[in-house]
């Protein structure tokens, strides 16, 4: 990215694939890199033979599947997230991988204790050596790209479900927040982030909640977890929403509506979701690689 512009350079982007009847791609966020500092959910279609292979592999081996647009010519296949959100880019070719390799330690610098540090929330923190994830699609750090499990899969974007740039003007929340989305009886959640320290999390629910209708599910709703307080100075190093667990949520942070005069009325009943399976959980990709907050966390996917 040029120093004097906010224009994104075309790049390659990694996505986690969820869904069965309806497929969704969830962009893997990197809060410190402008081109990747986006929440993005796409409803997509892929060729039936590729979809069949992925679903069969998921059922047999329990694999997550990651797609990245790095096939053939970089000039043709590279794109920006806004090009997808604007509708100007509706198709791309992707490779598919079934794992992200374990992180490796690398030297790091301590966070500066000056006002001109990267963020006041990080000032003076004594951090451990960085752990660098090994994206199979990149070939970073003198490590060759891992051979894809599937190649040249045509992805057609049917709809932009959710698009949001990470906003440094937002400084806090009361509770951890997720985007709830899906179609039909299938529902998924994606952790919504502020900046860092943060965690990235994508999971499928046991079923779509019966307390919203399908139009709301398709349009997305925000839910937060009152038992997961948000902290500006730390993050959850391990998945706080384990598989096969039930959790109370607040719909857009609300527990009660107000009338036209501002008086509380119509208390909202307690709302719950059931997490079936996590497809992606990571603190290593989303945060500065040289400011790792969860060295001992073993979770990368």
> Could you tell me the two tokens for 272?
């719950």
In terms of residues, how long is the chain?
Answer: 301
The span from the CA of 109 to the CA of 265, in Å, is 53
Residue 52's pLDDT is 98
The total number of structural domains in the chain stands at 2
The span from the CA of 182 to the CA of 180, in Å, is 7
Which residues, at least 6 apart from 115, have a Cβ–Cβ distance to it below 8 Å?
A: none
Which residue segment(s) compose the domain that 201 sits in?
167-301
Query: 160 and 257: one domain?
Result: no
Query: 26 and 154: one domain?
Result: yes
Residue 12's pLDDT is 85
- Residue 289 falls within a domain, yes or no? yes
- Residue 225 falls within a domain, yes or no? yes
Which residues, at least 6 apart from 238, have a Cβ–Cβ distance to it below 8 Å?
A: 294, 297, 299
Query: 150 and 192: one domain?
Result: no
> How many other C-beta atoms can be found within 10 angstroms of the C-beta atom of residue 23?
22
- Residue 124 falls within a domain, yes or no? no
Residue 301's pLDDT is 46
Residue ranges in the chain modelled with pLDDT below 70: 1-4, 71-75, 102-134, 138-144, 289-291, 297-301
Residue 226's pLDDT is 96
- Residue 123 falls within a domain, yes or no? no
pLDDT in tens, 114-155: 445 556 566 555 555 666 666 777 655 455 577 889 999 999
Triad 182, 183, 184: Cα angle to 5°: 135
Q: Identify whether the C-beta of residue 145 lies closer than 8 Å to the C-beta of residue 137.
A: yes
Q: Is the dihedral of CA 179, 163, 172, 261 positive or negative?
A: negative
Query: 160 and 47: one domain?
Result: yes
Residue 281's pLDDT is 93
Residue 97's pLDDT is 92
Which residues, at least 6 apart from 161, have a Cβ–Cβ distance to it below 8 Å?
A: 24, 41, 42, 43, 181, 218, 220
Query: 147 and 188: one domain?
Result: no
Q: Identify whether the C-beta of residue 217 lies closer than 8 Å to the C-beta of residue 187.
A: yes
Residue 73's pLDDT is 54
């Amino acid at each position: 990215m040029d120093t004097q512009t906010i224009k994104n350079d075309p790049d390659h982007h990694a996505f986690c694939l969820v869904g069965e009847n309806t497929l969704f791609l969830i962009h893997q966020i990197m809060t410190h890199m402008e081109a990747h500092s986006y929440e993005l959910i796409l409803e997509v279609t892929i060729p039936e033979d590729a979809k069949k292979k992925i679903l069969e592999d998921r059922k047999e081996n329990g694999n997550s599947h990651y797609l990245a647009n790095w096939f053939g010519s970089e000039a043709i296949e590279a794109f920006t997230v806004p090009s997808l959100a604007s509708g100007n880019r509706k198709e791309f070719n992707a490779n598919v991988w079934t794992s992200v390799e374990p992180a490796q330690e690398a030297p790091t610098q301590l966070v500066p204790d000056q006002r001109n540090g990267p963020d006041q929330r990080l000032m003076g923190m004594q951090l451990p050596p960085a752990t660098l994830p090994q994206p199979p699609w990149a070939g970073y750090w003198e490590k060759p790209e891992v051979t894809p499990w599937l190649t040249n899969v045509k992805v057609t974007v049917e709809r932009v479900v959710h698009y949001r740039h990470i906003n440094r003007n937002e400084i806090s929340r009361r509770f951890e927040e997720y985007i709830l989305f899906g179609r039909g009886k299938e529902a998924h959640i994606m952790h919504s982030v502020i900046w860092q320290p943060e965690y990235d999390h994508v999971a499928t629910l046991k079923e779509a909640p019966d307390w919203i209708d399908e139009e709301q599910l398709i349009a997305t709703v925000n839910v937060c977890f009152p038992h997961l307080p948000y902290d500006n100075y730390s993050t959850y190093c391990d998945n706080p929403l384990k598989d096969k667990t039930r959790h109370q949520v607040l719909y857009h942070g609300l527990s009660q509506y107000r009338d036209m005069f501002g008086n509380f009325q119509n208390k909202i009943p307690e709302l719950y979701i059931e997490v079936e399976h996590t497809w992606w959980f990571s603190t290593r990709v989303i945060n500065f690689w040289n400011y790792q907050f969860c060295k001992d966390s073993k979770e990368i996917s």
